[in-house]
Structure 1
Amino acid sequence: MAVILVRTLRVGPPPQTDPLAVSLSDGVSDSGERLAALIRVPTVSIEGLETDSLAFAELHEQMASLWPTVHARLSLERIGHHSLLYRWEGRDPQRSPVILMAHQDVVPADTSDSWTAPPFSGLRADGFIWGRGALDDKGSLVAILDAVTGLLETGFQPSRTVYLAFGHDEEIGGVAGAGEIAAVLRARGIRPAFVLDEGGFATYGAIPGVDRPVAVVGIAEKGSASFRLTAYGDGGHSSVPPKEMAITMLAEGLSRLHAAPFPARLDGATAALFQSVTHAMPVHLRALFANRWLTDPLLLRVLASRPTTNATIRTSTAFTMLSAGTKPNVLPDRAQAVVNFRLLPGDSVEDVAAHIARVLDGSGMDIERLSGSEAVGPAPTDNSAFRFLARAIRSTHPDSGLIVAPYMATGGTDAKHFAGLTDHLYRYIPFDLHTARDGILLHGVDERVAEDQMIQAVRFYATLLTGLDQFDAE
């Protein structure tokens, strides 16, 4: 008991860095109207459907009109037809560049859902900009371009070259967009000091027991693999069903997979997150996380009890698609399901394939791999790049007691395509997210961002860019 008490009382905050000096030029007002204009262009990505070239052409015309200074002063390449790569020459082009990312595409919006305003209206009301893409990820795109515009108009030139990489197909994997941008930069020998993409937010109430705001910066992201399972049976009339049918055999196989989850483990980015916030927890929770040598089994059970935290401690299994039968009175001769796994760093696509084969051994089912991408990270946090980003984040929350902490993104981002260029891949959107108030807005009904959050986001990117003078890449 004495050991537990001592370890608990010894927990202190991790080393803190001073915020960067805030820099925001004049001339970047009304970001909300520019965001609303982009929301009104439905650049929707749908798996298996052709890209809407007309929508992206319209978006690019809007961008050229809304940010003429950027288009006059920065070089621009179109890559993969619709992705955009801007280059802002630095004062010292020999220094390793930085890459700021956002994506132009959005997920579909079901207009039958109860949206407060039509999802592509770009309505400005009640202090918010409403519509699909406001948070994910046109808000970041607008904030980056507004920050760059404001700095250009003051005559500012960054100390090192800055790339702005805006992919067009992130919502369906990003292969033709960010993947092609990364390939182009790789072929040119570009080795960025760091990459900053979408990801975490400054969260309020997201971590149980922590009443201070926590800005979570993604240092890793889970991989993804999908498999199609097919069970076979005798077809025929439903009036004489056999003992075993394709659908029942498929159901048995899915039940086996559901009953055999991947083991839970608290390590990597998730462990780093809790380590960063333990000092701000009430004493009973602090005791649990300060004494993991004793409490890990209990912690894992608690984390596994909630879907949001369970996804951070294991490779997850999700049954996403089913197909069988054509008529109510006909037995299908096959039944199929698609299962999606989200891979924890340390687990590979091959590990998932072996797991399925082991669990379904003897079932007679066919197992077909449909897609697979490996987990990425974790990126280092004990380096100048992470400390610099933390300083920029704190500059937008100077008096809030904000904690900057690493975390793992459970969904995919375009950043993964840059893993071959640098290990310093980070994910952060400079907006506040209040768990109780905002619910699930990403990809959800009534996606929106507050007008004052757009001001904050522009300030963040402007501060980061002007602060590059104080950044020494390791």
Structure 2
Amino acid sequence: MGRVLLRLLAGLVLVVVVLLAVLIFNTLRYKPEATADSATPYELGADIEQATKDLSAAVKFRTVSTDLEHPDFAAFLTFLQDSYPLVHTTMSREVLARQTPLYKWQGSDPSLAPILLAGHYDVVPIAPGSHHLWEHEPFSGVIDDEFVWGRGTLDDKGAVIAMLTAAEKMIADGFTPKRTVYFSFGGDEEIGGLGAMAVAVHLNEQDIELDWMLDEGSFVLDKVIPGLDQPVASINLSEKGYVTLELVAKSAGGHSSMPPRVTAVGRIAKAITRLQDNPVPGGLTGISEEFFDGLGRHFSFGQRVVFANRWLFKPLLETILAGSPTTDAMLRSTTAPTMLTGSSKDNVLAAEASAKINFRIHPRDSVADIVAHVRQTIDDPEIEIRYDESLANPASPVSSAQATGYLDIKTSILDAFGPLATVPGLTIAATDARHYGKAAKDAYRINPFKIEGSDLARFHGTNERLSIENLETGINFFGALLQKQ
């Protein structure tokens, strides 16, 4: 009996030793992709002082998306003409729906498929009652030693100014791209992007298929991801879709003194609880796995053990990632109850109660999948599910992380910023890229600006600002990217 026990213990020790060896071996192999370190980042040599003044001036135009008839929309386009004369004499320009200009920089080799660089100049409104929270008036464009302040600096006039500054400088230097380059600056991205849709339709009608396009949708993230010490550029390959479902329950109504066992409001409340307790299935597959696989290689050795050995730790890793709203949103289609209606008086039973649930759809799911999930999860035939099909958008197609466009963007990020982590990712909100992508083989999303965790609240919030250093790096990025075309 003792010998048998010793043999079992010896076998167990051997299994543990082999397992540890496998875990360590896999982790040692699981490391970042080797990149060539450049001695100094690429510099285009643009006039950064003038670019800073241009961004300041751009902020002063009140191009608020909820007021598309405001004269500042047309005035902003005139400002661009005055500020970038070489761009406007070298490139052709058409102004399409919602004051969206489309520029064409003719390339020298017509056999090469064109590309498109996009941004938008409309901005969200200032939240009522928040003006006193701003360090500087939101449309003042104040310049201090480090930043340009004001609505639109980050989202997205900074990118528009960076693109045009780079193009103006390169034209002055005698540069002509080999492939044709389009630039499009949306005038209504914040309210749906009809301008970008018009651009895509315009290109399709001319039988022009873009090789790839680039728009906003991510940043170079510094100290944003817990446990990651170095900045990471997430070059996003897709963006989530969007659908809002309305759940409607009806009852006889009446006086609250004689309620039924289950009221219409109670039925809706139960349905919401079931949806929140049973999220849409997700996990580390497809683009989600690509993102976390690329990211995991840059963590410490101890953390890399988990990422490198997903064959063993995948359930644990998915549980950990699902514990944070930020990382959970990368794993699945998200469920967000946002609006409730019931009775108009506290002592009257609601004859009809409803809830609106917003879903951001992961590329693995469809609108039909979301509706089926809701029907099955609430498991209540007395609740009607409604939604406006015209407002429902599937997730955009997943672009290639091996195509020329992705590689050009990646190497240009490294040219401008120096060594950092680069990963393919997923945009969890909506951008104009979902429209432009209908005229392109591949659509990518990143703004070449470095942001920290404290900057996240500035998007659509208070004290929006862009550092002058970021503006310069963004100009250099677009210069490096255009040099490759």
Does the 8 A contact of 2:46 with 2:166 survive in 1? no
1:98 is matched with 115
Given the alignment, which residue of 399, 419, 432 partners 1:379?
399
Instruction: Give the Cα–Cα distance (whole angstroms) in 2 for the partners of residues 358 and 169 of structure 1.
Output: 37
Q: How many angstroms does 1:279 deviate by?
A: 3.1
Instruction: Give the partner amino acid of 2:154.
Output: L
2:190 is matched with 171
Instruction: Give the Cα–Cα distance (whole angstroms) in 2 for the partners of residues 17 and 183 of structure 1.
Output: 40
Q: How many angstroms does 1:407 deviate by?
A: 0.9
Does the 8 A contact of 2:268 with 2:353 survive in 1? yes
2:316 is matched with 298
Change (3 A) 1:192 1:212: same
2:385 is matched with 367
Instruction: Give the Cα–Cα distance (whole angstroms) in 2 for the partners of residues 45 and 402 of structure 1.
Output: 35
Instruction: Give the Cα–Cα distance (whole angstroms) in 1 for the partners of residues 33 and 209 of structure 2.
Output: 29
Q: How many angstroms does 1:14 deviate by?
A: 2.1
Q: How many angstroms does 1:222 deviate by?
A: 1.0
Given the alignment, which residue of 420, 435, 452 partners 1:402?
420
Instruction: Give the Cα–Cα distance (whole angstroms) in 1 for the partners of residues 189 and 289 of structure 2.
Output: 27
Given the alignment, which residue of 160, 164, 168 partners 1:149?
168
Matching of residue 220 in structure 1 with residue 244 in structure 2: no
2:208 is matched with 190
Pairs within 5 Å for 1:234-383: 234-370=252-388, 371-383=391-403
Given the alignment, which residue of 62, 65, 69 partners 1:45?
65
Instruction: Give the Cα–Cα distance (whole angstroms) in 1 for the partners of residues 145 and 272 of structure 2.
Output: 46
Does the 8 A contact of 2:322 with 2:331 survive in 1? yes
1:471 is matched with none
Task: For residue 318 of structure 1, give the secondary structure of its aligned residue in structure 2.
Answer: strand
Q: In structure 2, list runs of 5 or more residues that go unmatched.
A: 1-18
Instruction: Give the Cα–Cα distance (whole angstroms) in 2 for the partners of residues 269 and 17 of structure 1.
Output: 26
Given the alignment, which residue of 63, 74, 79 partners 2:96?
79
Q: How many angstroms does 1:247 deviate by?
A: 1.7
Q: Say how many residue pairs are matched.
A: 461
Instruction: Give the partner amino acid of 1:262.
Output: V
Q: How many angstroms does 1:459 deviate by?
A: 1.3
Given the alignment, which residue of 460, 468, 472 partners 1:455?
472
1:472 is matched with none
Instruction: Give the partner amino acid of 2:22.
Output: V
Instruction: Give the Cα–Cα distance (whole angstroms) in 2 for the partners of residues 111 and 225 of structure 1.
Output: 27
Task: For residue 444 of structure 2, give the secondary structure of its aligned residue in structure 1.
Answer: strand
Change (3 A) 1:289 1:417: same
Instruction: Give the Cα–Cα distance (whole angstroms) in 1 for the partners of residues 48 and 110 of structure 2.
Output: 27
Matching of residue 112 in structure 1 with residue 129 in structure 2: yes
Q: How many angstroms does 1:118 deviate by?
A: 2.5
Instruction: Give the partner amino acid of 1:5.
Output: I
2:56 is matched with 36
Instruction: Give the partner amino acid of 2:159.
Output: S
Q: CA RMSD of the aligned region, Å?
A: 2.0
Matching of residue 432 in structure 1 with residue 450 in structure 2: yes
2:7 is matched with none
Instruction: Give the Cα–Cα distance (whole angstroms) in 2 for the partners of residues 26 and 231 of structure 1.
Output: 61
Q: How many angstroms does 1:450 deviate by?
A: 0.6
Which has the larger displacement, 332-341 or 50-59? 50-59
CA displacement 1:18-64 (0-9 Å, x = unmatched): 76983514445322222222222222224xxx733533122222222
Change (3 A) 1:21 1:299: closer
TM-score normalised to the size of structure 1?
0.92
Q: How many angstroms does 1:151 deviate by?
A: 1.4
Instruction: Give the Cα–Cα distance (whole angstroms) in 2 for the partners of residues 29 and 157 of structure 1.
Output: 25
CA displacement 1:59-115 (0-9 Å, x = unmatched): 222222222332222111111141110111111233111100001212222141222
Change (3 A) 1:170 1:439: closer
Q: Identity of aligned pairs, percent?
A: 36
Instruction: Give the Cα–Cα distance (whole angstroms) in 1 for the partners of residues 34 and 196 of structure 2.
Output: 34
Instruction: Give the Cα–Cα distance (whole angstroms) in 1 for the partners of residues 68 and 355 of structure 2.
Output: 27
